[in-house]
Amino acid sequence: MADNDEATEVATDDAEQAETTDDVERAYGVPVTESRGQRVLHPSADELVATVDALKADGFDQLLDVIGVDYLTHGPRTLPATVSAERFEVVYLLVSHAKHERIRLRVQVPADGAVVPTLFDHFPGSETPEREVFDMFGIDFEGHPDMCRILMPEDWDGHPLRKDYGMGRIPVQFKGAPTRR
Partner 1 sequence: MTATEDLTPAAAVTSASAPLPEDAERVYRREDSAVLRMSEAEVAQLAIDAPAEALATNTDERTIMNMGPSHPSTHGVLRLVLELEGEVVKRSKPVVGYLHTGMEKTAEDLTYLQGSTNVTRMDYASPLFSELAFSLATEQLLDVEIPERATWIRMLMCELNRMSSHLLFMATNGMDLGAVSMMIYGWREREEVLRFFEMVTGLRMNHNYIRPGGVAADLPDGWRDEVLRLLEMIPPRLEEYDILMTGQPIWRERLQGVGVLNSTEALALGATGPILRSTGYAWDLRRDDPYLAYDQVDFDVIVGTYGDCFDRYAIRLNEIRESMRIVRQCLDKMPSGDFRVQDKKVTPPPRARIDESMEALIHHFKIFTEGFKVPEGEVYVAVESPRGELGCYIVSDGGPKPYRMHVRGPSFINLQTLPHLMYDGLLADGVAVISSVDPIMGEVDR
Residues that bind partner 1 in the complex, under the rule CB under 8 A:
1, 3-4, 6-8, 11, 35-36, 38, 49, 53, 56-57, 61-65, 67, 69-70, 73-74, 77-78, 91, 93, 97, 100, 102, 104, 120-129, 132, 136, 145-146, 148-154, 160-161, 167
Give residue 4's identity as a one-letter amino acid code.
N
Q: Closest approach of Cβ 75 to partner 1, in Å?
A: 10
Angle made by CA atoms 40, 42, 44, in degrees to the nearest 5: 155
What contacts 27, CB < 8 A, 6 or more positions away?
39, 41
Least CB distance from residue 79 to partner 1, whole Å?
11
For the CB of residue 180, give the shortest distance to partner 1 in the complex, in Å: 33
Spatial distance between the Cα atoms of 51 and 95, rounded to a whole number of angstroms: 14
Rounded least distance, CB 145 to partner 1, Å:
5
Q: Looking at beta carbons only, is 174 or 181 nearer to partner 1?
A: 174
Residue 118 CB neighbour total at 10 angstroms: 20
CA of residue 7 relative to chain centroid, distance: 23
- Considering beta carbons, is residue 24 or 147 the nearer one to partner 1? 147
Nearer to partner 1 among residue 153 and residue 171 (C-beta): 153
Euclidean distance between CA atoms 123 and 96, whole angstroms? 13
Q: Which residues is 31 bridged to in the sheet?
A: 26
